[in-house]
Amino acid sequence: MKRLWLLFAQTVTVLVAALFVVATLKPEWLNRRSALPTVVPVIESPADSAAAPAGAGTNSLREAAKVASPAVVSINTSKAPENQPQSNDPWFRFFFGDQGQGQPQAGLGSGVIVSQAGYILTNNHVIEEADQIEVLLNDGRKSAAQVIGTDPESDLAILKVTLTDLPVITLGDSDALSIGDQVLAIGNPFGVGQTVTSGIVSALGRTQLGINTFENFIQTDAAINPGNSGGALVDIRGHLMGINTAIYSRSGGSMGIGFAIPTSTARTVMEAIVREGKVTRGWIGVEPQDLTPELAESFSVPPGTGVIITGVLQNGPAAQAGIRPGDVVTHVGEKPVSNVAQLLSAVAALTPGTPSTLDLVRKEGKQRVQITPGKRNLPKPQAAGNR
C-alpha cells in the first residue's frame, strides 16, 4: 500500500510539473481562445502613402481643378472713348470746359482654350464692341487675340491666339449631366486672378430667362461673379461641361444661381464659326405659343406635348408647307418639342434650303408635312441682362 501511494505521489508530481511547463511555455495548448489575435486586423496603408497627395480621394476636386485650370484664360478688353464732336468748338469748351477725348473703356472676362490651334471659347458680351483684346494665360503668357466670329443669339464668340504649346481643355458630354452632379466654375472674378469655386448642377434646360435668344442653360450654385463670364464649368474629371454666362443677382454678386451654356451648344456654334465664320440657322416663319392644358385637352394631346401655332407669315416657308394657325407642332424632324424654346432651337438647327418634316396635330388628326426652311436673319441687338 505504501508503495502504491508513493507511485501515485510521484505521478501527480510529474503531471503538475508538466502542467507548469506547458502553462509557462505553451499556454495556447491549455486555452484555444488565447490563439485569437489580441488586436482587430486592419488593412494598412502602403509604406509610401506619405508620397500620395493628401485629399486625393473622392471628396477632393483638386485633380479636376489641376486638369482644367491651365486652359482657362483671362480676357482684358478695351474700347476707344467716343469722340465728342463739340470738343473742338471753342464756345463749347468755354461753357463746359475741356473734356478731352475721355478714357478708354476697359472690360474683363474669361475664356477657355479648346484647341492647340489657338481657338478660345468665350461669351460674345465679353468681347462685344472691343477694339483691343488681350488674353492672359494661367502660366503668365500674354497675347493679343483675333476675333474669328461671334454668335450674339447664343452669346458665344471664338477668339484665336498665335501662342504655341497651349494647354487645351477636354470637351465633355454635357447631355450626360444630371441634377446633383458636382461641378467647378473657373474664371477671373472681379479681376482678382484665377479662382475656382465648387457646387452642384441645380437644374438643366433652363429657358425663358430673357438672356439669350436661344436658351438651354445649366443652372449651378457654384459661385459665378462678374469676370467669370466666358469661363469654364467642369465636371469632377476636369472636362468642360459649359461656358459660364450669367447670374441671377440683386446685388451684382453671386447669390447661388448661375447659368452656363452647355458644351453641346458651344461645340455646334464653334464648329460653324470656325468653318464658315458665322452660324447659319433655319427659319420657318411662324408665331408659336406654349400649349395650355385647356388647349391640349381640346386637341386631345397630353399637356406639354407640342406647341400651338398662332400666326403664320404669308408666303413664308410654313405657309408654303400648308401650316396654318391652330396647328400643334409636336416634332421637328425627329426631335420632340414641348415648348416654344424647344421649337425655336429645333427649327434653328435645320439647314436652310434642305427639306425637313414637321409632325402636326389638327382637329382632323395627326399629319406630317414637308417644309423647306429659310435662313434666319440676325435680329437687332438687345440690351444685355445681369451677367
DSSP string, 130-189: -SEEEEE-TTS-EEE-EEEEEETTTTEEEEE---SS---PPB--GGG--TT-EEEEEE-G
CA–CA distance from 197 to each of 65, 101, 140, 167 (Å)? 9, 40, 21, 20
Give the span between the Cα atoms of 15 and 23, in whole angstroms: 12
Strand order in the sheet with 146-151: 142-144, 132-136, 72-79, 105-113, 119-122, 156-160, 146-151
Give the span between the Cα atoms of 360 and 369, in whole angstroms: 8
| Dihedral angle computed from the Cα positions of residues 173, 175, 177 and 183, in that order, rounded to the nearest 10 degrees | 50
Q: Give the active site residues.
A: 125, 155, 229
Domains identified in the chain and CATH numbers:
61-82+103-276 (2.40.10.120), 282-375 (2.30.42.10)
pLDDT above 70: residue 95: no
Q: Count CB-CB contacts under 10 A for residue 130.
A: 20
Tell me the three cell numbers of residue 135: 488674353
pLDDT at 85: 56
Longest dimension (CA), the chain: 151
Residue 187 backbone dihedrals phi, psi, to 5 degrees: -175, -160
pLDDT at 228: 85
Please indicate whether residue 126 or residue 46 has the higher confidence score (pLDDT). 126
pLDDT above 80: residue 280: yes
Q: Report the predicted TM-score, pTM, of the whole model to 2 decimal places.
A: 0.70
Distance between the two ends of the chain, CA-based, in angstroms? 113
Chain centroid, CA 125 distance in Å = 17
Taking only the tens place, the pLDDT of each residue in 174-211 is 889 999 999 999 998 888 888 999 899 999 888 777 77
Taking only the tens place, the pLDDT of each residue in 20-37 is 665 666 555 555 544 444
Residue in 85, 145, 82, 66 with CA at minimum distance from that of residue 110: 145
Question: Using 50, 70 and 90 to split pLDDT, how confident is the model at 297?
Answer: confident
pLDDT above 70: residue 88: no
Chain centroid, CA 68 distance in Å = 13
Residue in 275, 277, 346 with CA at minimum distance from that of residue 307: 346
